[in-house]
Structure 1
Amino acid sequence: MRNSLKQLFFIGALSLTFAGISVQAEESEGSYPESCPEIYHHTMKQLHSSKMLNLCDVTDGKSVLLVNTASHCGFTDQFGDLEAIHEKYKDRGLVVLGVSSDSFNQEAKDEAEAAEVCFKNFGVTFTMLSTVPVKGENAHPLFKEVASQDQYPRWNFYKYMINPEGKVVHSNSSFRIPDEEVIENLLSSAGL
């Protein structure tokens, strides 16, 4: 009897283990809706948080202003400009998505410091993602796809306008903030 219970327990535990593996495999392979452009088929960590964000959920079929950031760059005051764009257009379907990067050796080594610069110093409320490489062979796949459509960022605060289909339709160097006409064109072409 005791051996029968052990065998039954073992078989039950084994079944649950295989069921868990099966569920995990389905979730990791099928966690992106068909309507989500492949460029966003990534889960990335939110800046200075343990929270993982599914980019399909973050972008949710909207137009995106993607920008690589660094807290020790001379362009950090653009956080204020980007926040103003976020506030003005978020209800019209524009997602501002910041990605911390040390690819140009100007990001804080401590994520808490990087977060303090954008959230506390500049009042950023748009989504900021944890530090990743944004250029070259080690670039995050999001930026590899952006580069295949346009180019890798040449410096911090390089900006890409991406339509709801996941296509880069415009980019701005670190020196320029996308002007209102470019944003309006992106939103109107998306029907937003």
Structure 2
Amino acid sequence: MDVNWVPPVLTGEMITLRPIRAEDSDALWDGLGDPEGRRMAGLTQEFTREQVAQWAATAAEREGRFDWATTVDGEAILGRISLERVDPVARSANLRSLTLPGHRGRGYGREAIMLVLDFAFGTDPGLGLHRVGLEVLSINPRAAALYQSLGFVPEGRRREVLGDGERFADSLVMGMLEDEYPAAKASWA
């Protein structure tokens, strides 16, 4: 499979996913300042503003992954979503998604995931993947329920992978296979 690593623009009913670009760094930086979002996403690494700016400026050029800004109008960022560790030979990838504060619970994340799954499993345009996997922390049951409602199948549990001070959270492993995708997509309607 020959892969063009530039993320395509994906358009849904409410949102547009477009490649992350340098001018997105301020919104991404603000998102990293959200303690609840960081906790639910399991982000423990600290980043400098310069690191975030460098990442945003080069995100659309990175081989092995696709990073999109979730937008309403192609401009203002509501979140980000990524296909990471894309392996064209194994035909697999991992999904990561984060909706910024003030935009959660409105269906933007759900639609973003649906658009990315269409691209991941599709072939024209698309990657024609066999499997898309993800991990969600046990402290984030709302996200786990969302992924299951979209057709992701629970596959296992990694115990106590993240400590947040007083307690540890498990990581729930989920996946969707290409032959499960058509039924999952039909249930989205």
Same fold (TM over 0.5): no
Larger Rg: 1
Structure (1/2) with the larger helix percentage = 1
TM-score, scaled to structure 2: 0.25
Q: Where is the strand percentage greater, Structure 1 or Structure 2?
A: 2
Higher relative contact order (CA 8 A, sep 6+): 1
TM-score (norm 1): 0.25
